[in-house]
Structure 1
C-alpha cells in the first residue's frame, strides 16, 4: 500500500450497477465452464458420463480399452467433447458383432 486511497461517497444506484455487472460477469464465466463451453472443449468425467448416458465405470472401461481418449491435467481426468461424440457409432440395436441378424422381429398379436 504505497499510495493512499481516497474514499468518496458513491451514489447507491451506481454502486448497485457496479456490483450487478461484476456478479453477472462472474456467473457467465462460471456457467460457461460448467457446460463444457471452454475454448479447448475439455469436459470432466462427470460431464462425459452424462453426455454419453453411461456410468463412471463404463466410461473408465471404455477409456482403458482405447475407445475413448482421456487427458490428464494435474490430478484431473478430462475428455474432449468432440472426440467423445465422434467415437459414437450408429448401430442397429438388435445386431451383434459377427451376427447377421437384422432388426428385432415384430410381435404377433395374441389370437
Structure 2
C-alpha cells in the first residue's frame, strides 16, 4: 500500500505542499519527455539511421529518391526528426 495516501490529520498547508510536490514531479517528467522528443531537432546521418533502424546506403537512397528530406551545410547532412517521423506511412 505504498501508493495509498491517507489524508487523516493532514493540515491544509500539508495538503497544499503534497499537491505542489506531485505536480512538480509530473511537470518535470513531462519536460524531460519533451526534451527527448524535440520535433525540430536536427539529426545527423548516423542518428537518422539509428532512429529509422536502417543503414547509411538506404538513408542515402531514400534521400536521393525524395522519400525523406535532407538538409545540409558545408559537407554536413542533417534530417529533421519530425519530418522523418512524418515520412513514415501506414501500411494497413
Structure 1 length-normalised TM: 0.47
Q: Which runs of 5+ in 1 are unaligned?
A: 1-34, 93-111
Asked if the contact 2:39–2:81 (Cα under 8 Å) also holds between the matched residues in 1, the reply is no
- Listed one character per residue, the Cα deviations across residues 33-82 of structure 1 (whole Å, up to 9, x for unaligned) are xx986794110000000000111000000000000000012211000000
CA 1:38–1:85: 2 relative to 1, 3 Å: closer
2:82 counterpart residue number: 82
1:103 counterpart residue number: none
Asked if the contact 1:70–1:79 (Cα under 8 Å) also holds between the matched residues in 2, the reply is yes
Query: What secondary structure sits across from 1:47 in the alignment?
Result: helix
Which of the two has greater helix per residue? Answer: 2
1:19-98 equivalence runs, <5 A: 40-92=40-92
Structure 2 length-normalised TM: 0.56
Query: What secondary structure sits across from 1:84 in the alignment?
Result: helix
Q: Which has the larger radius of gyration?
A: 1
CA distance in 2 between counterparts of 1:83 and 1:52 reads: 12
Alignment RMSD: 2.3
CA distance in 2 between counterparts of 1:59 and 1:85 reads: 14
Aligned length: 58
